[in-house]
Amino acid sequence: MKNKLFMKKKVLLVILLILAIGAFATYRMLYKAHRDIATEEASFTLTPQILQQKFMTNDSVANMEYADKTVIITGKITNIDAAGNSITIDGKLSAVLKDKVANIKLQQPIKVKGRFVGYDDLLEELKMDQVTILN
């Protein structure tokens, strides 16, 4: 009788231990530390024209290659949206800035680093977020 009770407690303890480990692993997966794009090394340095051409050639391959990657983009500012805290580069790439829009002008050459979000083929617009200005 004592042996059966001991075995039941042992099995219960093992089950509780497995559940605790599973809960901890799930918690760690759901609440990962946020990426700091500003300090990450860029995977690619491109212009909006080159990036758009890659998406027009084969959007599936381009998505696998560039989506959610840290990229550096160079071009000229063609639109500034201070209320939305974003800029448009070369009329093709919409970039949401990490900091407030300041000290930039239309047609000014710019170099930015951020996370490439994707390509909106309906609007034919490239999108980035968490963007910091490098120059």
The residue range of the domain holding 118 is 44-133
Q: Do residues 108 and 58 share a domain?
A: yes
pTM: 0.75
Q: Do residues 58 and 26 share a domain?
A: no
CATH number of 123's domain: 2.40.50.140
pLDDT in tens, 99-117: 888 889 999 999 999 999 9
pLDDT exceeds 70 at position 35: yes
Whole-number pLDDT of residue 29: 83
pLDDT exceeds 90 at position 118: yes
Whole-number pLDDT of residue 1: 62
Is 39 among the domain residues?
no
Is 38 among the domain residues?
no
Distance CA 33, CA 12 (A): 33
Q: Is 75 exposed, middle or buried (0-12, 13-18, 19+ CB in 10 A)?
A: buried
